[in-house]
A and B are shown apart, each in its own frame.
Chain A
Amino acid sequence: NAGVTQTPKFQVLKTGQSMTLQCAQDMNHEYMSWYRQDPGMGLRLIHYSVGAGITDQGEVPNGYNVSRSTTEDFPLRLLSAAPSQTSVYFCASSAPGRRTYNEQFFGPGTRLTVL
């Protein structure tokens, strides 16, 4: 298993540009989520999904969209990038079953800089 994969690893955007961060997992996990990590802030939940076709907002959803058309993929879209979105983005997934979201497995992260 490849686990949780994220692309790209690094990205530089200009203010106002849009882009999609890709996340995929091959563990048949129903639950997937996106976090952003900023110095001194820990990880903050952006959006999450409990299964294909179901998404919900986390703690800091503004400026981001997600969709979950398949179990494997959970892309994160930045609609109009802003410098405040400069961060490291982590995707995570966890085991099947809606009631027992156990250990989350994290991807390697995408380091995004918005100029």
Chain B
Amino acid sequence: AQSVSQHNHHVILSEAASLELGCNYSYGGTVNLFWYVQYPGQHLQLLLKYFSGDPLVKGIKGFEAEFIKSKFSFNLRKPSVQWSDTAEYFCAVRGNNRLAFGKGNQVVVIP
């Protein structure tokens, strides 16, 4: 079964700072990779996804992620965060009819 590791569970940063969240996965087959965001009190929304092709994926709200197959990684980045980016971020990998999530990164952006 696939598994996902996310590092630095709690991240606090100031507006305009850059954000990078790490995601490493383990799965022997072809993977589809996702980043979801959960704003306070809301359900999960898709930020971006990777299936194939260009390993640099651009998502909504200025987020991007890079798939590095050799490192089994799919790190999320945003060059300049805003207060409204305060949320919990989840990396997920789909394989074998299942979507496995990491434990999430709680990101707090200070105005």
Binding site for B on A (CB under 8 A): 31, 33, 35, 40-45, 48, 50, 56, 58-59, 90, 92, 101-104, 106-109
Interface centre among A50, A90, A101 (most CB of B within 10 A): A101
The answer, yes or no, to whether B90 is at the interface (CB within 8 Å) is: yes
**Alpha-carbon separation in the docked complex, A40 to B90 (Å):** 11
Interface centre among B9, B99, B104 (most CB of A within 10 A): B99
**Alpha-carbon separation in the docked complex, A35 to B92 (Å):** 13
Contact: B101 with A101, CB < 8 Å? no
| Majority DSSP secondary structure for residues of B touching A | strand
**Alpha-carbon separation in the docked complex, A108 to B34 (Å):** 19
Count the A-B residue pairs with Cβ separation under 8 angstroms: how many?
A: 50
Contact: B46 with A40, CB < 8 Å? no
- Choose one: B4, B90, B98; the contact of A48 (CB below 8 Å): B98
Contacts of B58 in A (CB 8 A): none
Contact: B99 with A104, CB < 8 Å? yes
Q: Given A48-B97, A48-B98, A101-B94, is A40 in contact with B103 using a C-beta cutoff of 8 Å?
A: yes
Contacts of B101 in A (CB 8 A): 35, 42-44
- Choose one: B45, B51, B102; the contact of A42 (CB below 8 Å): B102
- Choose one: B4, B32, B43, B102; the contact of A108 (CB below 8 Å): B43
Contact: B44 with A106, CB < 8 Å? yes
